[in-house]
Amino acid sequence: EVWIFEEGYLRPYCITLEKDGVNANSSLPRDKNFYLSQDIFTQESIKEIPGGFKFMAFDAFLYWLFAFILAPFFNNKLHHRTLYPFEFLFWFRSLYRKYLYKITEKKLNEKIYNLEKKYFLAILQVYSDTQIKYHYKKSIEHFIEEIILSFANHARAKSYLVFKHHPMDRG
C-alpha cells in the first residue's frame, strides 16, 4: 500500500493523507455535484501558522545538511534534487523577492480583491512539480498559454483572469 501526504492540497495550513496518490492519481471524485450534494461544508476556522516560510527554510536547511553529509552512504539515490551548496542562494533570492513583492504588489492585490468575484483564478504549480512532469507533460508556460487562449475565446466580457503563483516558485 502507498499513502501520500500532501501539504495544502485541499485547504491551506492542512495536511491531506490519501491512499494511492494525490492530484492526478487521486481517488477523490472529480464531479463537482458530488461535493455540492454533501452536507459537510462548515465554517470551521483554520488557524494560520505564523512564520511558515522561516520554519520551512530552517527545516529545509537541516534536511539538506544531513542529506549532504550522508549522501556518500546512499549514493544520492534517495533525493529528488541535487545537493549542491549553491542551491541555497536561490532560497535567499526567494526570501528577498517574497518581501519585495509584498510591497510592490500591494496595490495589485487590492485591485484583485475589489473585483468582487468577477474573475477566474488559475493556480500555478512549481515548475518542477511531479504532477507537471508526469501527468501534464508540458510546461507551466504552456499551461499559461492554454489558459489565456481559452479565457480569450470563452469568458464573459466583464470577467478577469487572475494567475496565482505557487508560494515556493517566485523565482
* pLDDT, tens digit (0-9, with 9 covering 90-100), for 75-84: 656 666 677 7
Distance separating alpha carbons of residues 168 and 171, to the nearest angstrom: 8
Question: What's this model's pTM, rounded to 2 decimal places?
Answer: 0.67
CA 33 – CA 29 distance, rounded (Å): 9
Say whether pLDDT at 155 is over 90: yes
What pLDDT score was predicted for residue 120?
A: 93
Q: What is the pLDDT of residue 73?
A: 81
pLDDT at 138 over 70: yes
Q: What are the cell numbers at 43?
A: 465554517
CA–CA separation, 146 vs 140, rounded Å? 10
Q: Where would I find the H helices in the chain?
A: 32-36, 52-74, 87-104, 106-113, 130-131, 140-154
Task: Determine what percent of the chain is predicted with pLDDT higher than 90.
Answer: 20
